[in-house]
Amino acid sequence: MRRAHTVEQVRAAEAALMATLPPGTLMHRAAAGLAAACMDFLGRAYGARVVVLAGSGDNGGDALYAGARLARRGARVEAVLLNPEKAHQGGLADLLAAGGEVVDRVRDADLVLDGVVGIGGRPGLRPEAERALDVVEAAGIPLVAVDVPSGVDVDTGETPERHVKAELTVTFGTHKIAHFVDPARESAGSVELVDIGLDPYLPEPALEVLQPSDVKALLPTPGHEAQKYSRGVVGVLAGSQQYTGAAVLAVGGALGGPVGMVRYVGPDEPAAFVRQRYPEVVGAGRVQAWAIGSGLGDDESQAEEVRNALRSGLPAIVDADGLRYLPESCDSPVLLTPHAGELARMLGVDREDVEKRRLHHAREAAKRWNATVLLKGSATVIAGPDGRIRVNTASTSWLATAGSGDVLSGLCGSLLASGLSPFDAGSVGAYLHGTAGQLAADGGPVTAQAVAHALPDAIRRVLS
């Protein structure tokens, strides 16, 4: 599992670790890892041209010490000191001793090291940093960020002001929230974690990202004595005369999950399509969980069935048009799966604000409805009402296609019916859905049906 911590958590852990080490040890560990990552990125050190954008404080010090290491390996290293009076003196002296130079502006380079501000910085950049960044961006020089891209909000992933957009971010000790939450995630590029010995001093993470082994451990699998009812039965309440395909896709997602039976409840026309495509699907009856909402449209004929399902006390995943039937607060296990536009309508805010503040709004909705909220996106945010956060980054941009969310809805319903909590069902469902998208797309366009068909292969990949 990949973990991310807040700035406060990291600072406390660093202080505890530094109390056990000679002065400067932590910075030299970070600089060694940073320099190694830069050499891997460049493919060499000797003859490479590197510019260090060094702000004040330890972040600038990390960059300067790393620059000194690169200079000793034969790189031509120049430093632009954005605040010369407050430059890290130890790092600067080491760079100069290694043959590096101080210059007044960015010139031609193969790589720029972003040591402007670290995790203690606020969003935005000072004018001198903006001027340097203008030159770098105009010249198309690749940027490697030190710990985080300068100018992002480290604890939220928000980017309200000008900030660095890196191709690689080298971070130390643990990941930070901005590495996983959009829009800052996009500006971090690839992220490489350098071990500096912080693990024993870190508390429980503020955010988690499941890896295949974590999904395998959570995924319900049938035992030798299993039968269709013990594996779980999910009811799918989706589709309408207007959106018949949504019913087929949601059912397909449910069948691709771990349950032993799927019951479809809906109008005659979508029901006929469902049974034609999936003859194993049965009608109304006892279920262990509900998948509600995909493709209900404006048809109010199913409104009472939706409300009854939500009042049943059974676990439920509520998607799309089903979201308008939510009670003021959920008193049973519920997973909500809105996209940004739907969450904006639910909270009475602009969609643009949801896109800019994804973590904030997912948390707010989880508290407001006492439910787990899965906010769809290229990096899906799963927020529990208890404050826990997970993010899924295993996906492909080709999943942004009509009907993809319907498949996710059915899959999450299947996971709920097989016994997972809403938080785990959303986390595992997002991972499997993203993996199925990758398998089905194989680098090109994909349809929602193809994603549903690839779910068994995604599960096999996790279990192998």
317 labelled ligand-binding:
no
253 labelled ligand-binding:
no
Three-class SS state of 129: helix
Give the whole-angstrom CA distance, residue 89 versus residue 86: 8
Q: Are 109 and 135 in contact (CB under 8 A)?
A: no
176 labelled ligand-binding:
no
119 labelled ligand-binding:
yes
120 labelled ligand-binding:
yes
377 labelled ligand-binding:
yes
246 labelled ligand-binding:
yes
447 labelled ligand-binding:
no
223 labelled ligand-binding:
no
- Compute CA distances 93 → 67, 77, 100, 133, 397, whole Å: 11, 13, 9, 24, 46
406 labelled ligand-binding:
yes
Per-residue DSSP letter, 122: P
Give the whole-angstrom CA distance, residue 296 versus residue 165: 41
155 labelled ligand-binding:
no
CB atoms within 10 A of CB 249: 30
397 labelled ligand-binding:
no
189 labelled ligand-binding:
no
367 labelled ligand-binding:
no
58 labelled ligand-binding:
yes
Q: Which neighbouring-strand residues pair with 372?
A: 335
379 labelled ligand-binding:
yes
57 labelled ligand-binding:
no
224 labelled ligand-binding:
no
212 labelled ligand-binding:
no
40 labelled ligand-binding:
no
378 labelled ligand-binding:
yes
User: Which residues, at least 6 apart from 368, have a Cβ–Cβ distance to it below 8 Å?
Assistant: 329, 347
**Nearest alpha-carbon partner for 408 in 394, 425, 393, 388:** 425
User: Which residues, at least 6 apart from 451, have a Cβ–Cβ distance to it below 8 Å?
Assistant: 399, 404, 407, 433, 436, 437, 440
419 labelled ligand-binding:
no
Give the whole-angstrom CA distance, residue 317 versus residue 333: 9
124 labelled ligand-binding:
yes
- Point out the annotated binding site for K(+): 59, 114, 150
- Residues that constitute the known binding site for (6S)-NADPHX: 58-62, 118-124, 147, 246, 295, 339, 406
Report the binding-site residues: 58-62, 114, 118-124, 147, 150, 246, 295, 339, 376-380, 405-406
Annotated binding site for AMP: 376-380, 405
